[in-house]
Amino acid sequence: MASTPLGPSARFNRDVHTTDDPMAAAVALRDGRLAVLPTETVYGLGARADMPRAVARIYAAKGRPADHPLIVHVAHASYLPEWGHPVPSYATALARAFWPGPLTLVVPRTARAGDFITGGQDTIAVRVSSHPGLQGVLRHLAAMIGDPAVGIAAPSANRFGQVSPTTAGHALDELADVLDPDDVLLDGGPCEVGVESTIVDCTGTAPVVLRPGQVTAGAIERAANVRMGHSSPVRTPGTLPSHYAPSARVIITSPQELADRATLRTDASVGVIALADIATPPGLVRLSEPVTSDDYARVLYAALREADALRLTEVLAVPPPRDGVGAAVLDRLTRAAT
Ligand code: AMP
Ligand code: MG
């Protein structure tokens, strides 16, 4: 990413209407405009899911290929059957256990879900976010248009292949120069989870994790009392091997390798992301020192952005333990490193 002495965001125009009022975002969406929206995972770029032209602008703004499907956000689990059918009983159990929360369920689609959202696939990805800002937007939008099951199509608010934004400022850095002045950015503060939702294929006899997130495979098995499946026919284009990548080269490393590398080469153009109990070798730039795996997930994308803002050439990342959200952190680091 190009950057200036003022930081990576200084080159963008800032004409996008920024607000903390969910009603303003709901009005924009109602009228077919785009809204950048906070969720508990990362910021999303939303449009009314029943408006093909608004949804087309999401693809144009992101530079996203048209065959990559979008996640649809709804207000409540009870609207899942409006968008997906049939919904297997384990999926209903997962919705009950984890919604609102950072979980996306892929189910066969109903007529509500147009080709322009699903990338032509016969499945739809549905999510209910716990973020009060996004919940407010859905409530206002539903009331204004008289459709409680209304959906907002919202992929992450980054340009295609880039790091997902976890603050309103980062979303603006990504999209300010491609949004219109009458689009809206709803500032809901920094995202609590920090990595994208767990996506679960619910089209077969057993759930299959398509993208790891804070909701783990173990938690899914316990909540729905099922064994995880392992292969899925569902195409998930957003989970390309190389994704979520900053300009700096990301290298996954162990604490020992980190120490060894630094003795070989003390270099102020190399950044370090690791848990706080791992020391920064002399001369390297500490980007982040999260205390727990949850902290690690929360700060990861901001740290990768910081690496580019500082024009670092390399980032050495020591992943957290793999339990909990740690598996999702390792997944994102692996993609960033590819
Ligand atoms: P993002 O746009 O960053 O929120 O990522 C959305 C992810 O959901 C991408 O990886 C998509 O490929 C995936 N996705 C959305 N809809 C579907 C679907 N119907 N089937 C499978 N994956 C989907
Ligand atoms: Mg994305």
pTM over 0.85: yes
Percent with pLDDT over 70 in the chain: 92
Ligand 1 center–CA 211 separation, angstroms? 9
Residue 234 CA, chain-centre distance (Å), reads 19
Q: Is 316 in the pocket of ligand 1 (CB under 6 A)?
A: no
Q: Is 184 in the pocket of ligand 1 (CB under 6 A)?
A: no
Atom of ligand 1 nearest to the CA of 158: 3
Q: Do domains 3-224 and 249-337 have the same CATH topology?
A: no
Over residues 65-86, mean pLDDT:
96
Ligand 2 center–CA 162 separation, angstroms? 8
Over residues 66-83, mean pLDDT:
96
Q: Is the pLDDT of residue 34 over 90?
A: yes
CATH 3.40.50.2020 applies to domain 249-337: no
Query: pLDDT tier at 262 (50, 70, 90 boundaries)?
Result: low
Ligand 1 center–CA 324 separation, angstroms? 22
* Atom 10, ligand 1: residue with shortest CA distance: 238
Ligand 2 center–CA 138 separation, angstroms? 21
Give the closest ligand to the alpha carbon of residue 83.
1
Ligand 2 center–CA 279 separation, angstroms? 32
Atom of ligand 1 nearest to the CA of 239: 10
Q: Is the pLDDT of residue 237 over 70?
A: no
* Atom 19, ligand 1: residue with shortest CA distance: 124
CATH number of 3-224, picked from 3.40.50.720, 3.90.870.10, 3.10.129.10, 3.40.50.1000: 3.90.870.10
- What is the domain partition of the chain in residue ranges? 3-224, 249-337
